Structure 1
């Protein structure tokens, strides 16, 4: 997320540590987005469920 400049060519190929790190960061970001979606769906369902008797 956000604009970042891509260099025409990398100064040096990424080390295995950097590759592992980037994979881990991408995975954690996907997990966070998934949990965020689950949380919002649960919140919508709970709001609906709790307010139904009052309608």
Structure 2
């Protein structure tokens, strides 16, 4: 994975998905996003964000 500098996203429709970290690796989630985007004609990319929560 490559960390990119922060950029503004364009307007559009976004779908939020949450994955349980206990059973999923970052590579698994990235692969899921790539595969999902490739099936959608209107998808031109995705934003993958990892949040670490305590509690």
TM-score grouping bracket, smaller chain normalisation: 0.3 to 0.5
TM-score by length of 2: 0.33
Larger radius of gyration: 1
Q: Larger relative CO (CA 8 A, sep 6+): 1 or 2?
A: 2
